[in-house]
Chains A and B, each alone.
Chain A
Amino acid sequence: MTTARVRAHRRLQAFRVVVLTVLGLFFLVPLGSMAAYSVRVPAGGRTLDFWRQLGQDPDLRGAIVTSLELSLLTVVLMLVLLVPTMVWVRLRVPGMSRIVEFLCLLPLTIPAIVLVVGLKGVYAWVTYFLGDSSLTLTFAYVVLVLPYAYRSIDAGLASIDVVTLSEAARGLGAGWFTVITRIIVPNIGAALLSAAFISVALVLGEFTLASLLSYTNLQVVINLLGKSDSQTSVAASLASLVFAFVLLILLSLVGRRRGARRTAPALDLMAPPVAKEG
């Protein structure tokens, strides 16, 4: 007996299978193609030469190192700037929390290409004071990762009682520095970790600021390489992609383990979850 309800159920299942298969292919085929493309030999057969090239090409190696250094510096500066500020706001100046939140989420609505136009002038001064090392990009990258880092840390702080914890510690004679480093930070470890992960993933994929401010990082070099040696550049793309995927998947695991995350950030009006591409 096939009743209307059974038929409707079957229709729904068929719809789901079709949607998931078609879109699954759409997402997997480019990734598979990259892998195939990076090991292809024009005459036929396969080779890992282009992958070996990743470790050998001096430009590429230099760029990988630069990007890793940039990620590290960005994470450190972001944490140093954001954690004390956010804790301080919660403890002493809660009236400023809306303003801090607004500033932190502002970069989401300002396209990177717009920011770069305004940053040109600022970077003239940065170069004047600090030289023209690519590592100075750190300053701009902290701004780029700010919204994402802010959300993670905010969720972390919301899940502990900052005020009570620090009052207890202060009562025992701890200074502010001790409160932040010994009491707060250990309690929001997972949040800091996820803030760091997303920052690293974003910095490794960043192209707009680096290329238009005339610095080199991994993506800039990959892009250049694409003109001369497309197979190595695709291998490098895939490698950086896999690395970022792993980071972001670790991130989602950290997020899940934390359990009591604040719900539905996607419906947060102040914080449209715009994805930042490169």
Chain B
Amino acid sequence: MIATSTGAREGLEVRLEDLRRRFGTVTALDGLSLTLAPGELVALLGPSGCGKTTALRIVAGLDEPDSGRVVVGDRDVTDVSANKRDMGMVFQAYSLFPHMTAQQNVEFGLKLRGHDSTRRRARAGEVLDLVGLSSQKDKYAGQMSGGQQQRVALARALAIEPSVLLLDEPLSALDAKVRAQLRDEIRRVQLEVGTTTLFVTHDQEEALAIADRVGVMSQGRLEQLDAPEALYSRPGSAFVASFVGLMNRVPCEVQGGRATLLGTSVTTLDGSVHGGRGVALVRPEQVQVAAGGDDATVVHISFLGSFSRVTARLVEGTELIVQTPSATVQDLRIGDRVGLSLLADDLLVSATTD
């Protein structure tokens, strides 16, 4: 079996402790702390410029923090240079050595470790097999598609059996179909080899699909670290809520840990405002639409296959997006009055100002 021959082994715990990094006046990392459990895949998600790449490069040793530590297993590697860290890294694109074939690229790290050519060839064969590219092993980077190149880059990183695998937007240069396919492939391979992995992306769908846990970053800090389902259904802040998935913002009244909106009273989640006016964050599928009510007017309907999205305007003017099975909206027309009801038990309510 491949899994045994590639030596699936216990992953190591990786800890980023209070990392800070400034570039001139720009604060790229502002006290980032994050712990990856052994063998876990954590996706770092965040808007452009929030410091994801900086964090990854610091873990890889390609950049140094102004303060803070990186600990792998029980070894502090903060002052260890990149070539002694034993980490596999996959870049966004163009990282294959263009004068080497796929196989030579994969063998490179092993050659540096002084492995003899028989052993190198065997190991390169294994990992190329793992990424499904054994038939392309004699091709140069220029002769392969973007997706194939990224597979080779992954194989090259895995060949040295790194203690940590680091991926910086490895799929962002690929087109949508290849991206989804390779994403699942990376996950499969990662589960097979069991290496602790940090995966940087700005694509929330990608992060939710691939990761054991997703860390959402904003302005050099970790906003929330949670399993994908938890992140989606119980966002810890308005920023996370609006960054992950589609989110409606509905004005409401808060009192004593309960918010009232759309004629329903629900519990507020931790991190909500305590009283007065606020904005409730409501997912499109947490609302149900029914013909014949009198809560809102239909402004727009988009058909998405088995689901449809209905945009409805509340009496006071707020627009709300509702996701619902297409069968339930067959008879709806633009301009119809509809009734809306809330399906959620608890919601996050943020202050009106943000």
Contact = CB atoms under 8 A, between A and B. Distances in A.
The answer to whether A and B touch in the complex, with CB atoms under 8 Å apart, is: yes
Interface of A: 3-6
Contacts of A3: 64, 79
A3 B79 CA distance: 7
A254 B134 CA distance: 52
Nearest to B84: A4
Q: How large is the interface on B (under 10, 10 to 19, 20 to 34, 35 or more residues)?
A: under 10
Contacts of B63: 5
A6 B81 CA distance: 11
Nearest to B78: A3
A5 B50 CA distance: 24
Contacts of B64: 3, 5-6
Interface string B60-78: 0001100000000000000
A4 B81 CA distance: 7
Nearest to A1: B79
A60 B63 CA distance: 62
Contacts of B81: 4-5
A210 B81 CA distance: 62
A5 B63 CA distance: 8
A10 to B, nearest CB: 14
Nearest to B62: A5
- Considering the complex of A and B, which 7 residue pairs feature the smallest CB-CB distances, nearest first? A4-B81, A5-B64, A3-B64, A3-B79, A5-B81, A6-B64, A5-B63
Nearest to B80: A4
A263 B17 CA distance: 46
B305 to A, nearest CB: 43
Contacts of A4: 81
B263 to A, nearest CB: 61
Nearest to A6: B64
7 contacts: A3-B64, A3-B79, A4-B81, A5-B63, A5-B64, A5-B81, A6-B64
Interface in B50-100: 63-64, 79, 81
A192 to B, nearest CB: 38
Nearest to B63: A5
A164 to B, nearest CB: 32
A119 to B, nearest CB: 45
Nearest to B79: A3
A260 B64 CA distance: 38
A252 to B, nearest CB: 30
A267 B40 CA distance: 47
A87 to B, nearest CB: 36
A4 to B, nearest CB: 5
A136 to B, nearest CB: 51
Contacts of B79: 3
B307 to A, nearest CB: 47
A99 B340 CA distance: 75
B83 to A, nearest CB: 10
A4 B63 CA distance: 11
Contacts of A6: 64
A6 to B, nearest CB: 8
Nearest to A8: B81
